[in-house]
């Protein structure tokens, strides 16, 4: 990882209130009197291991690697498919129109259910870390390469539950061959961690998807109450 990319991530972690980060040898990158759990260091190590990744063809047209965002000790992780154009430009997942809708879904549903939760309180990432050309679905070999890093992220965070957004994330995490319409609203498992499946926010942006929008809100209520009640 080059110095400028590392600086950007350190500033981002500082904005989140994370005051201590560790190298592999556990040497502090920033001194503080507040100890932190190992999750921050683990995720920084994973990001360092990814480096300027050229492991699959997705690196050829990407602008930035999109690693993940949010609370690294979160009890809930949202997993999407892959970065879009806005995410590729900013290096942060779910910042475009679909990301704005996801924020509304998380915060709006939590508020209605009396759960004090904001987007920054959860962790959000994708199966693949580089934008597929023209936003196509990631190929199996691309998901296999990036999946090792997703698995390490999930193991480092160790959430109480995972919410899979859309068919690609749902099928990758659960190994199911069913469509997302059949899978949504049901519990599955990844490494003994419960996985709730729902629609991807980009699908819900389509004006005619009134019923799926209502179903997605119900799915989110289930996972929020499971995690935070």
Q: pLDDT 10s per residue in the chain (229 long)? A: 545 555 555 554 454 444 444 443 333 333 333 333 447 679 999 999 999 999 999 999 999 999 999 999 999 999 999 999 999 999 999 999 999 999 999 999 999 999 999 999 999 999 999 999 999 999 999 999 999 999 999 999 999 999 999 999 999 999 999 999 999 999 999 999 999 999 999 999 987 888 999 999 999 999 999 999 9
Residue 30 in domain:
no
Q: Distance between CA atoms of 213 and 17, rounded to whole angstroms? A: 33
Full domain range(s) for residue 208: 58-228
Q: For residue 116, is it within any domain?
A: yes
We report the CATH number of the domain holding residue 84 as: 3.40.470.10
Confirm whether 150 is domain-assigned.
yes
Angle between helices 39-50 and 140-157 (to 10 degrees): 160
In this structure, is residue 219 part of a structural domain? yes
- Asked whether residue 135 is assigned to any structural domain, the reply reads yes
- pTM for this structure? 0.83
Inside any domain, residue 173: yes
How many separate domains does the chain show? 1
Residue 5 forms part of a structural domain: no
CA distance 75 to 151: 16
């Amino acid at each position: 990882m080059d110095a400028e990319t590392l600086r950007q991530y350190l500033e981002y972690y500082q904005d989140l209130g994370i005051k201590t980060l560790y190298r592999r040898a556990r040497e502090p990158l920033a001194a503080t009197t507040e100890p932190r759990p190992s999750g921050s260091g683990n995720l920084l190590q994973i990001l360092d291991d990814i480096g300027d990744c050229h492991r699959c063809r997705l690196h050829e047209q990407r602008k930035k690697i999109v690693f993940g965002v949010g609370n690294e000790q979160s009890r809930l992780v949202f997993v999407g498919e892959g970065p879009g154009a806005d995410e590729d430009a900013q290096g942060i997942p779910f910042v475009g129109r679909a990301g704005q809708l996801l924020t509304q879904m998380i915060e709006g549903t939590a508020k209605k259910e009396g759960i004090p939760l904001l987007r920054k309180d959860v962790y959000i990432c994708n199966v693949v870390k580089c934008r597929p050309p023209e936003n196509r679905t990631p190929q199996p070999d691309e998901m296999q390469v990036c999946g090792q890093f997703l698995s390490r992220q999930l193991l480092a965070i160790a959430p109480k539950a995972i919410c899979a957004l859309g068919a690609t994330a749902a099928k990758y995490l659960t190994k199911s061959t069913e469509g997302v319409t059949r899978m949504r609203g049901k519990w599955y498992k990844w490494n003994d961690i419960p996985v709730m499946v729902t629609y991807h926010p980009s699908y819900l942006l389509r004006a005619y998807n009134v019923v799926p929008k209502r179903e997605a809100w119900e799915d989110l209520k289930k996972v929020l109450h499971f995690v935070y009640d």
